Every structure is written in structure tokens, then in C-alpha cells.
Amino acid sequence: MAIEVDMMKKVPVAEQDPLVRARNFDEVCLGYKEEEARAESTRCLQCKNPKCVEGCPVRIDIPGFIEKLKEGDNAGAYEIISEASSLPAVCGRVCPQETQCEGNCIRGIKGEAVSIGKLERFAADWAREHGINPVKKTSGNGRKVAVIGAGPSGLTCAGDLARMGYEVTIFEALHKAGGVLVYGIPEFRLPKDEVVAREIENVKALGVEIKTDYIIGRSETIDELMEDQGFEAVYIASGAGLPMFMHIPGEQALGVYSANEYLTRANLMKAYREDYDTPINKGQKTVVVGGGNVAMDAARTALRLGSDVTIVYRRSEKELPARAEEVHHAKEEGIRFALLTNPVEILEDEEGLVKGIRVIKMELGEPDASGRRRPVEIEGSEYEIECDTVIMALGTTPNPLISSTTDNLETNKRKCIVADEENGATSRPGVFAGGDCATGAATVILAMGAGRKAARGIDDYLNGRQ
């Protein structure tokens, strides 16, 4: 069946019905079928100076891979993407395309941008289903490099270094590799077995060894890795760190979680599955504080566990930092938004259980340092929202573990590790860093890009080219 294409509009993608998916953990977006992808690919204008590529943090040759899809050469499309990205099946699902590639698409000026993310996902999923593996194993050069953290940044760096012939070991603190991809982003957005586990298998297939249950800074320090274990360079990719809290009264009440804890229980520890032991407090009424991807994920997870959910965010809809698609999906699923609203106190009952949250309405004032208009409280506008669970999704502060156990490793005033943006170099020769631990909480694609640059930086360093 040929698909009719409206050049102004994206070819629609199949999704689970909102009412059905609000009760399950299966993936929301079902992805393009081959003929849909082919149809969407015809919308690409093949610009001479492709603006989309400028918007991509890892500069994928977007018109190039879309052209291949149009020709029916799915494998060719995948190969082009793989040259720039090591986790396309992941990025196609979780990148904020609307502010990156798709945000720059010329089609988007008059109509809707080309659905670049969905096409990327199609190419990657197709390759996986057809057993196509990008990996070409090179013969080893016998030189050892250690990577700390098996999130997107560490995995990418390790994969690239292995392809260059290095003997790479990833040390991962948790019992499972993947970082935020396994403990943070939920199953319904990023399937763990089909997508994440496969990407990790690809990295292992290159000869990378992943040691789980291994905490650098406690089991071993960076100095010990380099002096006693013969690693010539180290890449730190240990992620964003500890959740922040608001320091308002009632925050220690029972039923207040950080989003990280809530999502870790649900995702990594699979509290939503009957056959796992992890307890989770399945609230009846949940309030999630924050407006980023993390807040959306927590809210939609609570919904799927059977709760009624309200998101409280202190700025307006326009400033919501989450991906547009997640906000759209959250609304479709019936999550309420209390925008321009900020918590002032969490209310608890005699037993210390959460019984509500006191909030105050806000209005937007002058722009602040981030360029966004600063929310200010409207006096006398306080009111209460009844709830039994509060999830704080307010961002993170760096984990001090590595910086405090590594001498002369420079951190900035936000306590993030200082790393050169071009090659990941830190203040310590041979020690490189990137991803969320250097930038603060950011995105998968930026973490991956940093891993890639650091791999080149490490190769240059070890060959005396730096």
C-alpha cells in the first residue's frame, strides 16, 4: 500500500493508544514501518548546506542517510549514521530533536520538520533486526585504558578506543551497565532488553570488558588503576550525581522521593514487576516537582503504577525543558500540569506520611542568567494540593567520590570535573572526563559526543600527539 505524503506534514507514526499505554510499561511509540520511513524520507529537501547537520551535536550526515533510506538501502543508511553515532537506536528515541536537527530543518519553516529522529530510529532498529553490526574489530595494540562508568559516554568512548585497538576495561558501580539508560529512562520510552542491552552487547563484541559492581574511588582509586594496574589513561564518565532537594519543610516526610530513587526502583530494580522484590510506594495521588525529562518520566511511571499525577513547575509551558514529545505524551495520558506554581511546604499527617503539598503561584519577571524569565511569587496565592506521594525532579549535584579521591583533579565552582571540550583532557595528564560528570546533567547525545572526542584525545595523548 503506497502512502500518500503531505509534504507539509510528518508521516504519522503509530503509537499505543494513550488510555491503554497509561496502564502498561510497553513502548509508547511503535516506530515507522519500512514503507512509512520510505515515504517520510521523500520529504527531505537534500539541502546543499544542511542546517540539520549543524544542529546535531555529533554531526551525523543526515541528508546522506535519508537519501539511502529513500533508495531503499537501509543498511547503507545505518552505516552512515554509525560513522558519527554509536547509539543510534537510543538517540533516535531520546534526543531532543526539536531543538537540534529537526529544529533547524528548512521544511519546518512553513510546515513540519522532517521526522529525522524517527528515521534514525528506523534505520537502527532495522539493522538490529537484520543482525547488522557496525563493529569491525581491529587487532589489539596491547595498551590498556580504563573507563569509569558504563553510561552512554563511557560506552561510546570504550567502543571507539577498542576499534582503535586499545584494550579497554569499563568499571561500573552498579550491577548493570547502561547508566541512565537502564536506571533512569523508563522502559516505555527506551526498551531495556531489545535496545539498551543490544547496544551494550555491541560494545562488548568489540572486546571491551565491563566490570560491574566496581566502584572507583572506593574499591580502587584512579591512581591505583594507573600505577598498579597498568592503565595508561583513564576516562571518567561517572554521570550527573546526587539529586537535589528544595530545603522546604516536610521534605523528610514519608512518601517524598527523589526522581532518581523512584525511577531506579521502577526501572533498574523493576518494582513494577510482580516477580521482583523491590518495594515501591504506589501512591494514589502523586505530585511531581520539576519540568525536565526526568520529571516527565517520573510522572508517567507513577501514572502507570496506578496513581493520579500532577506536575508542578515554576515557569510556564514554553520553558519546560523536557522533550516536546514527552510533554505531549504526558498530557495525552492524562497527567495534569500546574504551571507557574512552586512548592513551599510538604504537609504530613500525624504519622509523618505525606498528605499534601502547599504551593504558591508564580509570574514571570525579568530574564535571569539563563536568559529565561525569572519566576516570582504572587503574594497571597498559596493553595494546597492533596497527595500521598511527592517526587522531586530538580536536578543533580556532582558526586564527590572521584574528585575527592583523586589528587589534583580540578573541579569548577559547580563541583563538576573540568574537562577540555575538544579532547576531554583534565588537569591530570592521562586522565580524561566527559558527559554529565563534566557538564552537569545534559543529554545522551552530548554525553556520547564527549566520549567520542575523548577517545580521540586519549589516542592522541598516548601517541604523543598532544
Ligand X SMILES: Cc1cc2nc3c(=O)[nH]c(=O)nc-3n(C[C@H](O)[C@H](O)[C@H](O)COP(=O)(O)OP(=O)(O)OC[C@H]3O[C@@H](n4cnc5c(N)ncnc54)[C@H](O)[C@@H]3O)c2cc1C
Q: Which residues bind ligand X (CB under 6 A)?
A: 94-95, 148-154, 171-174, 179-180, 184-185, 215-217, 237-240, 263, 293-294, 297, 323, 399, 401-402, 435-437, 441-445, 447
CB-nearer residue toward ligand X: 42 or 221: 221
Please state, in angstroms and rounded to a whole number, the distance separating the CA atoms of residues 144 and 166. 6
Q: Which does 115 bind (CB under 5 to 8 A by kind): ligand X, another protein, none?
A: none
3-state SS class at 143: coil
Q: What is the DSSP string of 81-140?
A: HHHH-S-HHHHHHHS-GGGTHHHH-THHHHSPPP-HHHHHHHHHHHHHHTT-----PPPP
Give which of ligand X, another protein, none residue 359 binds (C-beta under 5 to 8 Å, depending on kind): none
Set of cell numbers at residue 24: 502498561
- CB nearer to ligand X: pick between 269 and 442: 442
What is the C-alpha to C-alpha distance for residues 149 and 294, in angstroms, rounded to an integer? Answer: 20
> How far apart are the C-alpha atoms of 401 and 260, rounded to whole Å?
18
SS3 call for 147: strand
State which residue, 43 or 189, has the beta carbon closest to ligand X: 189
Q: Report what 152 binds from ligand X, another protein, none; CB cut-off 5-8 Å by kind.
A: ligand X
CB of 451 to ligand X, least distance (A): 7
Integer angstrom CA distances of residue 278 from 57, 265, 282, 289: 37, 7, 12, 24
Minimum CB separation from another protein for residue 53, in Å?
Answer: 34
Neighbours of 128 (CB within 10 A): 18
* Residue 221 Cβ vs another protein, minimum distance, rounded to whole Å: 9
The SS3 of residue 44 is coil
Minimum distance between the CB of residue 403 and another protein, rounded to whole angstroms? Answer: 12
Among another protein, ligand X, none, the one that 379 touches (CB under a kind-dependent 5 to 8 A) is none
Q: Which residues bind another protein (CB under 8 A)?
A: 173-175, 183, 212-215, 218-220, 239, 241-243, 245, 247, 251-255, 257-258, 260-261, 264-265, 269-270, 275-279, 281, 351-352, 399-401
Min dist. Cβ of residue 45 to ligand X (A): 26
| Closer residue to ligand X (CB): 132 or 418 | 418
Nearer to ligand X, 50 or 451 (CB): 451
Of 265 and 361, which has the nearer Cβ to another protein?
265
- C-alpha cell read off for 383: 493553595
Q: What is the dihedral of CA 187, 287, 152, 217, to 10 degrees?
A: -120
> What is residue 168's three-state secondary structure?
strand
Partner from ligand X, another protein, none binding residue 213, C-beta < 5-8 Å depending on class: another protein
* 362, HSE (Cβ side, Cα atoms, 13 Å): 21
Retrieve residue 289's grid coordinates: 516537582
CA 454, CA 464: separation in Å to the nearest integer? 15
When the beta carbons of 114 and 180 are compared against ligand X, the nearer one is 180
Shortest reach from residue 72's CB to ligand X, in Å: 30
Task: Tell the smallest beta-carbon distance from residue 196 to another protein (Å).
Answer: 17
